[in-house]
Structure 1
Amino acid sequence: MQATSVENAGVKQQKQPKAVWAVAFACVISFMGLGLVDPILPAIAKNLHATPSQVSLLFSSYNLITGLAMIITGFVSSRIGPKWTLLIGLILIVIFSALGGFSGGISQLVSFRAGWGLGNALFIATALAVIVGVSTGGTAKAIILYEAALGLGISVGPLLGGELGSISWRGPFFGVAVLMAIAFIAVSFLLPTVPKPKQRSSILDPFRALRYPGLLALAFTALLYNFGFFTLMAYTPFVMNLDAHGLGYVFFGWGILLAFTSVFVAPKLEKRFGTVRSMAIALFLFALALLAMGIWTNSTATVIVCVIIAGAFLGTNNTLITTAVMESSPVERSTASAAYSFVRFIGGAIAPYLAGKLAEWYNPHVPFFVGAIAVVLAILVTVIARKHISTGEKSH
């Protein structure tokens, strides 16, 4: 019966409009950019004579500018159209990732990653709205497709990053530029013109959207959850003591589990337990993984296993929370996405740098403990606000 169900789901996905597949392809390549860089963080620190906390600014500057730029994505998209917004975002990523490859110091590289973040904001906020808006089969199936693209990109990215990074730490930056150029061409030719929203968005719209308790609660849940997420992404490469190849394989395994659970596990959990319970389960298990890494930081094998297993919990939560965001407020989906992303990326900006500094101030164990506490707080926010998050809840 399960095989038949999967086959039927596959048939339904094949009936998606060409525009959905074009943007999903671009999303795969876009999310490869995040994984491409991860295996070379120690190499960047060594070659540019930087500390782990300085290198973590590659994530902080990227996430900070991405979050701030989210405020203008709806304003821009409603005036020039979703397709042009996607294309501008992609070309900015091409330019700044290529410039990153030519960097002569850590400050330059951090600055170029900030420019990359601007392009990323324009692309990902608009891409999610386009996929949800033009797909067939409802929001849930569109979100699953989006999360599958995210998981595929994140899982394949580290492998390519490890290969290119073993040649030079500059390789993955040039690799991203080439891949983004391919995505730019694909979107240019395969995505037809998407109609502009009937009503132009204001820069204040995302802030107004946060007045809805469900959306606000989910945004702060994601902010806290991102403390754990980016502690794993930005800090674990420095405690695993692996080369670029080794880190690439570890994060490949992590990404595979993330992709699998986002597509196949999250919908089943939501149907069985409801949105809030399923999110709480996934976040609790992730907090336990961070706690284990904090206790056994000196055990490379333990950290590796926990990183890979954490992919399952992250993939599950990503799909659940993204689906809930898209249906938690009566505003345009692009506006809801922008408001939610603005808040959550603040957590993504603070966490990487804080993790590195905590290790310098105290010891290598502390960043994981702080990440675990933040994820537990995310659970509390979700549970307290559960009456405002009704998507997928079971009635008793």
Structure 2
Amino acid sequence: MSRVFLGPDRGHSLEARLAKATEALSVVPVVAILMIGTRLRAIQLEGGLGAPPLWAQLCMYGATLACFFRFLTAVCSFRSESEEALATAQGIRSTATAMLFVCCAAIAVSTLVMEAKSGDNEPLGTMMQCMLALTVAYFTETGVREVFAKVQKPEDPAPSYGSFSPTSQEEDLLALPARVSLQFPPMLCVLFVAIALRAVQLHLEPRFWAVCATYLTTLATVLQQLRSTMLFMKEGKGSLLGDEAAGPAFCPTDSDQKSKIFWSVTTCCIYAGTTLILLSVASMESKASAAASAPAPLSTAMCCVMALTVVYFLTYLLVMAGSLLRQFFGTWAQSTATGVQRALAFAPMLCVMMIGVRLRAMQIGVRDPPYWAQVCMVVATGAVITQVSCTILTESESGAGMVDKDAATKLMLLLLLGLRYAASAVLFVSVASLMISLAWMQPVLE
């Protein structure tokens, strides 16, 4: 909006502030899905009226407040000319970050130690276990980046929204899979909690091969995060999260054969495991009867989460494949990756919103949210997919080579650009409608 309404000159300063502030927002989807997972665990143990312990609920408020403070300090202090103001903002941000990490650790502990009042405790499911493991690994990596991050100074160049983290011009594109060490966990956590919600509501459980695939995917993701964390500590460069909220994560510069094999193997495991997990959703069997004839139909929220997961991982796969085949598609991959990241930035949080609406319906005893809310889910999902598609078609054709295009090509690119902006507006309206449905949803009186 700063670009559209303020123009490239006046909007640049605001855009730079907001681009920098996205670092503070990059952890929000993981924080939110951790809260939803804790709430789901309480419902699993106590039914629709179950709630986490009071101290865990207070930690949720504390984590939310900390996220707001991190964002506000980043917006207000970026490129400030006063060293004193920078020091004050950094102190506030550090305090808020410590508060955020402590509160999230307490929320995760509450999920593990929560017990039913009746004493009849169900074991923590596979999906919830893996969600907690990914959350711990994610916050470990972000915590290390907080400690070793280079503080932004007034003379530093302003970041561009969705841009790559600073790397050498001679960087090996085979290292691209390492960029996603902070991109995959939020989407995987969302998928795991969505499946856990379906399992709790319909009393289902994943099959053995799906459980193995879940553990495999989690292990590969955690290994990537540990490797990326060690490389970040070793290299010691880059900002807090690069532009992880909307751009690729920090890219390690090691290009030895062992490193290439490591990233290739772990990435293949993540994709293979995620594929099996998605296939297992419709084949989950009832806990009461393993011989259940027909699986329960998928909810609209579950279908949308699965669709966004497929688009999310498939888009990354296309970009990584283009990088690996750089002799043929390297230029396309480099020009497209940044725009695709911007288009996918809302996918994890959109999934969190849809799961929250679905969980609210479950809490008040309704199987599905209102029909219009389900329509908003489908429309929002379609908007994200439209944005991604338009970005893939337009980003690689824009830039300096645009002047050499014929009139028909330019017209097509302008139409796609307009469609992308329209999809963005539809996405915001749909999310606002989901928030309204979350607040106004009422139980159905029989």
What TM-score do you get using the length of structure 2 for normalisation? 0.33
- Identify, as 1 or 2, the structure richer in helix: 1
**Computing the radius of gyration over CA atoms, which structure comes out larger, 1 or 2?**
2
